[in-house]
Amino acid sequence: MTLRIGLAGLGTVGASVFRLLGEKVAHNAARCGREIRVTGVCARDRARDRGIDLSGVTWHDDPVALAASDDIDVFVELIGGEGDPAAAAVRTALSSGKSVVTANKALLAASGVELARLAEARGVTIGYEAAVAGGIPIIKTLREAVAGNRVSRVFGILNGTCNYILTRMEKEGITFEDCLADAQRLGYAEADPTFDIEGNDSAHKLAILAALAFGTEIDTDAIHLEGITAITLEDLETAAELGYRIKLLGVARLTDTGVEQRVTPTMVPKSLAMAGVEGVLNAVAVDGDEIDEIMLVGPGAGDRATASAVVGDILDLARGGNPPPVLGIPAKTLGEAKRARMRAHEGGYYIRLAVYDRPGAFASIATRMAEQSISLESIVQKGQRDPDDPENNVRRVVLITHETTEAQIRAALESILSDGQIVGRPQMIRIEKP
């Protein structure tokens, strides 16, 4: 019996999904035991040439009407956005007993628990492999492959735009602004790149992964968020000299006080595989009690990789059987998203300061660090003078700490600021432990 697909959204990903299902009918049928056909579509512009043949497919102007149609079995939502019409269409499909496949991380981050409860109440499910890390099968890995593990940490490079920018800055000595402009020209970054470079995109993905990993409700608001706009060439060069690379990491960790979630620039030892993930690639690692650590690397975006993930979810539905719960365990049993104490991260830190070159300045800084029981691994003076200092009386200094807590670091830095021994605010970057 043919599985009939309603496809809402015919942008680059939607057109690729349509093309992939049309070109691989026999291939897909051999893998799931039945034919899969797109029978209904919806998009904003009927006249647009998408390079696909829509003859024989019913066109709908309203995605909600498509989701409610009796002529489809599965609703595929590729519209995007956390609000309507995407949200209304997905709710309509689930309420009418249709499973949903989506690439919409914003919708899931905002309403994933509610939608999971609705799906499970109606005996259907939601496939969303494409919503996190594009072509990397991390959702299936967490929901199925490592389900027998107690996961203690999930972390990774979740945004290809940021990884591309940091990679080129390090490799080619290009400023952040010039690298961002190149990323926009090449289509790796949007005209308004704020959502990517400030870490919001990574935060949506991390919130979904944390819920799956730890059996809790999705809690995007709990994520401590920092983007990459403050990262300088000097930071990248110093990190390289010290044996690190700087990556924008999303990290969700189970602690004694709850779940710590953060998206921040992080110094990763070059010896770790995560440090070698370059360009627009994504990588996600999972720490479990039985598997220790596994890491998946692949394209985190792009129409082909995303379409591949969408079609994979469709094939799973076509095979039938009892799908796993949407968020790994039944939505009604999800634990409250208990937030870890703020700034509970433990590890070393990189700190860059612009210090006045005068007697007592360095002693004052060392004293403030000691007051917070912070031990320094190294102190590096960068150059003779600060190049941005017109009066030539400021030196740039880099401190590397031994393991400490973020609360201690922030307390020390606030004291240093109040002492008036530095110019501007310090740069602080976490060092991720292996």
Active-site positions read 205
Radius of gyration of the chain (CA): 24
Asked if 376 and 369 touch (Cβ cutoff 8 Å), the reply is: yes
CA dist., res. 56 & res. 79, Å (int): 22
CA dist., res. 66 & res. 79, Å (int): 13
Upper half-sphere CA count for residue 306 (Cβ side, 13 Å): 21
Helix and strand counts by DSSP (H, E) for the chain: 14, 17
Q: Which residues fall within 8 angstroms of residue 370, CB to CB, at 6 or more apart?
A: none
DSSP class per residue in 103-162: --HHHHHHHHHHHHHHHHHTT--EE-GGGSSTTS-HHHIIIIITTTS-EEEEEEE--HHH
Asked if 169 and 243 touch (Cβ cutoff 8 Å), the reply is: no
CA dist., res. 319 & res. 3, Å (int): 10
Asked if 104 and 77 touch (Cβ cutoff 8 Å), the reply is: yes
| Beta-bridge partners for 354 | 396
CA dist., res. 95 & res. 77, Å (int): 15
The length of the chain in residues reads 434
Asked if 404 and 387 touch (Cβ cutoff 8 Å), the reply is: no
- Residue 68 is encoded by which pair of tokens? 């409610």
